[in-house]
A and B are shown apart, each in its own frame.
Chain A
C-alpha cells in the first residue's frame, strides 16, 4: 500500500518558468511533510518542509503548499534553473518522532536552458 504517491515520474520545464511537483498521501495521521532533492550518485538532501498546521511554507525560490482536505501537497520552484534538474522526493511523517519517513516514488525534473 503506497501511502505517499508521486504520480508524475518526470517533468520538463523551461528555464525561468515555474516547476510544480505534486504529491498525494492517504494517511491522515501524517502531520509533517518534507521534500528532498537527489542528484545522481548522491544521497537525498533536505529541501523544504511543512507542518500540517500550516498550508504554505516558503524558502527563496521554493514554496510548498499543503491541502489537508485533499491530502495533497505540491512543491513550486520559481524561477526554475538548470541546476534544479534532479529527482525530487516527497516524504511524510507521523507525530511519533521516531524519525521514520514514508517516501513517494520521486519525480525527475529536467529544466531546459
Chain B
C-alpha cells in the first residue's frame, strides 16, 4: 500500500523555539495533505488542509500564523510550530491523498510526538 512518512517521530524543544515536522508520500504523488493533532484520549482533530502549490486552508480555531504549513511539492508538506509553548505539546499526524476521490485513498503517517518544555 501507499506509504506516508513523518520526520521526526518525536521531538523535545524549549518553549519559544520553532519546530518543523515533515510529511512525505514515499511512493505516490499527494495532491492534498492534511494535518491533524491529537491530545491524549481525544480524537484526531483536523488542523488544516494543504494542496500542492497553494495556501493551506485552516480549520476554525487554528492559528495560521502559529502553525505554518508549506506544501511545496507533490511529495512533501511541512508543518512548522512557531514559538512553541507547552500547550502545543501534542501528537501531530499527517495524511496524504493520492488524487483519487475516494476517502479510502487517504494514507496516514505514523505521527510526530512534540513535547515543549
Spell out A's residues near B (CB within 8 Å): 2, 4, 9, 32, 34, 36, 41-46, 49, 89, 93, 97-106
Rounded to whole Å, the gap between the CB of B74 and the closest CB of chain A is 15
Do residues B97 and A43 form an inter-chain contact, with CB atoms below 8 A?
Answer: no
Do residues A103 and B106 form an inter-chain contact, with CB atoms below 8 A?
Answer: no
Spell out B's residues near A (CB within 8 Å): 1, 4, 9, 32, 34, 36, 41-46, 49, 93, 95, 97, 101, 103-104, 106-111
Contact of A101 with B4 at beta-carbon distance under 8 Å, contacts A43-B108, A49-B103 already known:
no
Do residues B43 and A43 form an inter-chain contact, with CB atoms below 8 A?
Answer: no
**Once bound together, how far apart are the Cα atoms of A102 and B109, in whole Å?**
17
CB closest chain-B residue, reference A34: B103
Do residues A105 and B41 form an inter-chain contact, with CB atoms below 8 A?
Answer: yes
**Among A9, A49, A99, A103, which residue has its beta carbon within 8 angstroms of that of B44?**
A103
Do residues A93 and B103 form an inter-chain contact, with CB atoms below 8 A?
Answer: yes
Do residues B43 and A89 form an inter-chain contact, with CB atoms below 8 A?
Answer: yes
Do residues A101 and B46 form an inter-chain contact, with CB atoms below 8 A?
Answer: yes
CB closest chain-A residue, reference B104: A46
Do residues B49 and A98 form an inter-chain contact, with CB atoms below 8 A?
Answer: yes
Do residues A42 and B104 form an inter-chain contact, with CB atoms below 8 A?
Answer: no
Do residues B43 and A32 form an inter-chain contact, with CB atoms below 8 A?
Answer: no
**Among A4, A41, A43, A97, which residue has its beta carbon within 8 angstroms of that of B101?**
A97
Residues of B within 8 A of A93 (CB): 103
Do residues B104 and A49 form an inter-chain contact, with CB atoms below 8 A?
Answer: yes
**Once bound together, how far apart are the Cα atoms of A29 and B77, in whole Å?**
30
**Once bound together, how far apart are the Cα atoms of A101 and B104, in whole Å?**
11
